[in-house]
């Protein structure tokens, strides 16, 4: 431990654009955010027209009561996953790529995790940016590639400066979005009987409960697995629970169920025009800003994954701000030329690979605890453990098995199936002593280990 501190103390200060945002270290307790700032970050993830569309899609094929049950199943599943993983991130102050070094994967395994997460998230950043550009082009005119570039540059510029400015943006956008949406929905529904809409039969082809729950829980499962990227800035575990639960209530029970009513009203899943047509140019701007607020987390999470990947594989510490620029430019250009939409099937495949990561993290951190002790020993000092396991081969086997179950088994919810299989297998094999780490890696061998407490004063102002 002492040698790690000496190495940190003599390490040269990294000067670069934007904020590194503790990409390879714990977030110090005194740099974390208060309850209300974090709550708005969580609620901002609920502020999307796509959630209304999801609710309407389900409403077209289900009764109001059945849709309520489907959203309940989805919300409970997601909340359990988010809280179990997010609480670990809050306690350790670490993002998912770094957390996996001591929660089942080891140093080299964490590089594989980082790669999958980074490619998936930057891919979805490009896809969402394409949707963004096409939507604006249809609403206000102009070529979609131009709007893709404008949106991509704006989001990249925001993410460069890190969590502090993303939180500030959430404070502005979140109240505006929900205030505008509430006004639009009330204006639309005031001339209709809510009770009649709630009791009306589904206007379209019936949707099975399992399919609806899959769409609800599976659609946000990747976000649940990388929730430590946000919760590492929380101060208390109770905050993680209340904030994530509030986000679930808002997105599933309020936004989603209102979408169900709108689906019954217009007898179609195309309900975005209701909000956009009743709120004018200001409403369009707010909707677009809220979309950007959700997409910034794709780019942010991807940048953290790339930083960890390069440190492990190439022993080079990259500055997160610089990585954000590279990823943002790449995702923006690919979306502008229309390439990203051809990769949605591949990105969906990666989406099935990510839930088992969460199952293994939860199993190791909360049940097996075979590799967690170094985190416990260094938590109070807010430093990283001086060593980590190099490989944990059995975890990789469990990961592959869980992925195959999620991909090829037709029953249930694929994302939940793969997560549950990974959790149960790791618990069983871990408690039997079959999950064993091989090799030991030290932070002293890496270029740029975690900053010591004395070095925190040199952290860029935008870090927290």
Q: What is the mean pLDDT of the chain?
A: 85
Average pLDDT over residues 210-237: 87
Contact between residue 117 and residue 97 where contact means Cβ atoms under 8 Å apart: yes
Question: What pLDDT, on a 0 to 100 scale, did the predictor assign at position 348?
Answer: 75
Question: What pLDDT, on a 0 to 100 scale, did the predictor assign at position 275?
Answer: 66
* CB proximity list for 77: less than 8 A, separation 6 or greater: 213, 217, 413, 416
Average pLDDT over residues 277-287: 67
Question: What pLDDT, on a 0 to 100 scale, did the predictor assign at position 443?
Answer: 79
Using the predicted structure, report yes or no on whether residue 49 has a pLDDT greater than 90: no
Poorest-pLDDT segment among 71-85, 86-100, 193-207, 364-378: 193-207
Measure the CA–CA gap between 446 and 313, rounded to whole angstroms: 10
Measure the CA–CA gap between 429 and 341, rounded to whole angstroms: 40
Average pLDDT over residues 367-381: 95
Between 340 and 203, the more confident residue is 203
Average pLDDT over residues 4-26: 64
Give CA separation, 382 vs 30, 84, 454, in Å. Answer: 11, 21, 11
Between 393 and 188, the more confident residue is 393
| Tens digits of residue pLDDT in 104-151 | 999 999 999 999 999 989 888 888 888 778 877 877 788 989 988 988
441 beta partners: 388
Average pLDDT over residues 436-463: 55
Contact between residue 214 and residue 413 where contact means Cβ atoms under 8 Å apart: yes
CATH of the structural domain 2-450, one choice from 3.90.190.20, 1.10.4160.10, 3.40.50.2000, 2.120.10.30: 1.10.4160.10
Question: What pLDDT, on a 0 to 100 scale, did the predictor assign at position 305?
Answer: 95
Between 289 and 234, the more confident residue is 234
Between 402 and 187, the more confident residue is 402
Using the predicted structure, report yes or no on whether residue 195 has a pLDDT greater than 50: yes
Q: Hey, is 252 helix, strand or coil?
A: helix
Alpha helices in 143-199 (DSSP H): 144-160, 163-189, 194-199
Question: What pLDDT, on a 0 to 100 scale, did the predictor assign at position 73?
Answer: 87
Measure the CA–CA gap between 229 and 188, rounded to whole angstroms: 37
Between 29 and 191, the more confident residue is 29
Contact between residue 230 and residue 294 where contact means Cβ atoms under 8 Å apart: no
pLDDT band at residue 278 under the 50/70/90 scheme: low
Enter the pTM of the model: 0.86
Using the predicted structure, report yes or no on whether residue 185 has a pLDDT greater than 70: yes
Please report, for the chain, the start and end positions of each structural domain, with discontinuous segments joined by +. 2-450
| Tens digits of residue pLDDT in 72-93 | 988 888 899 999 999 999 999 9
Question: What pLDDT, on a 0 to 100 scale, did the predictor assign at position 232?
Answer: 97
| Tens digits of residue pLDDT in 54-63 | 888 898 899 9
pLDDT band at residue 173 under the 50/70/90 scheme: confident
Task: For residue 107, give both structure tokens.
Answer: 């140093």
Between 16 and 445, the more confident residue is 16
Overall residue count recorded for the chain in this entry: 464
Measure the CA–CA gap between 101 and 378, rounded to whole angstroms: 14
Angle between helices 257-266 and 49-61 (to 10 degrees): 60
Neighbours of 373 (CB within 10 A): 11
Average pLDDT over residues 258-286: 74
Question: What pLDDT, on a 0 to 100 scale, did the predictor assign at position 84?
Answer: 96
φ, ψ of residue 16 to 5 degrees: the values are -165, 180
Angle between helices 320-336 and 144-160 (to 10 degrees): 170
Using the predicted structure, report yes or no on whether residue 274 has a pLDDT greater than 80: no
Most confident of 152-161, 360-369, 441-450: 360-369
Using the predicted structure, report yes or no on whether residue 279 has a pLDDT greater than 70: no
Q: Could you give the maximum distance between any two Cα atoms of the chain, in Å? A: 71
Q: Hey, is 423 helix, strand or coil?
A: helix
* Burial (CB count within 10 angstroms: exposed 0-12, middle 13-18, buried 19+), residue 411: exposed
DSSP string, 27-77: PPGGG---HHHHHHHHHHTT--HHHHHHHHHHHHHS-HHHHHHHHHHHHHH
Question: What pLDDT, on a 0 to 100 scale, did the predictor assign at position 233?
Answer: 97
Contact between residue 399 and residue 360 where contact means Cβ atoms under 8 Å apart: yes
Which residue is listed with tokens 């217009």?
Answer: 266
Using the predicted structure, report yes or no on whether residue 393 has a pLDDT greater than 60: yes
Using the predicted structure, report yes or no on whether residue 296 has a pLDDT greater than 80: yes
């Amino acid at each position: 431990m002492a040698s790690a501190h000496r190495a940190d103390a003599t390490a040269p200060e990294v000067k670069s654009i934007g904020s590194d945002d503790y990409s390879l270290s714990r977030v110090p307790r005194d740099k974390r955010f208060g309850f209300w700032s974090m709550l708005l970050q969580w609620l901002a993830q609920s502020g999307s027209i796509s959630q209304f569309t999801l609710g309407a899609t389900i409403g077209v094929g289900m009764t109001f009561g059945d849709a309520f049950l489907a959203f309940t199943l989805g919300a409970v599943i997601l909340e359990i996953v988010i809280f179990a993983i997010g609480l670990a991130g809050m306690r350790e102050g670490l993002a998912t790529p770094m957390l996996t070094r001591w929660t089942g994967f080891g140093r080299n395994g964490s590089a594989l995790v980082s790669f999958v997460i980074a490619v998936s998230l930057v891919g979805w950043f490009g896809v969402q940016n394409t949707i963004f550009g096409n939507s604006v082009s249809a609403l206000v005119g102009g070529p979609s590639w131009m709007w893709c570039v404008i949106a991509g540059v704006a989001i990249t510029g925001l993410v460069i400066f890190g969590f502090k400015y993303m939180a500030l943006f959430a404070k502005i956008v979140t109240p505006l979005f929900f205030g505008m949406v509430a006004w639009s929905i009330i204006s639309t529904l005031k001339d209709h009987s809510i009770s009649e809409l709630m009791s009306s039969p589904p206007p379209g082809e019936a949707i099975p409960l399992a399919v609806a729950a899959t769409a609800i829980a599976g659609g946000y499962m990747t976000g649940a697995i990388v929730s430590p990227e946000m919760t590492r800035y929380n101060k208390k575990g109770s905050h993680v629970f209340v904030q994530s639960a509030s986000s679930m209530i808002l997105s599933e029970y309020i936004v989603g169920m209102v979408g169900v009513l709108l689906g019954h009203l217009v007898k179609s899943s195309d309900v975005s025009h209701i909000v956009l047509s009743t709120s004018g140019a200001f409403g369009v701007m707010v909707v677009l800003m809220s979309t950007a607020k959700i997409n910034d987390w794709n780019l942010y999470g991807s940048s953290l994954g790339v930083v960890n990947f390069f440190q492990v594989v190439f022993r080079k510490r990259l500055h997160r701000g610089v990585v954000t620029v590279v990823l943002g430019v790449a995702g923006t250009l690919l979306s502008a030329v229309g390439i990203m939409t051809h990769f949605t099937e591949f990105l969906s495949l990666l989406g099935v690979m990510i839930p088992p990561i969460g199952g293994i993290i939860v199993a190791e951190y909360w049940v097996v605890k075979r590799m967690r002790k170094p985190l416990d020993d260094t938590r109070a000092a807010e430093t990283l453990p001086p060593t980590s396991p190099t490989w944990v081969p059995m975890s990789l086997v469990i990961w592959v098995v869980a992925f195959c179950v999620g991909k090829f088994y037709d029953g249930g919810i694929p994302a939940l199936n793969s997560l549950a299989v990974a959790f149960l297998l790791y618990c069983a094999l871990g408690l039997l002593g079959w999950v064993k780490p091989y090799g030991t890696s030290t932070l002293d061998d890496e270029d740029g280990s975690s900053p010591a407490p004395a070095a925190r004063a040199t952290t860029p102002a935008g870090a927290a």
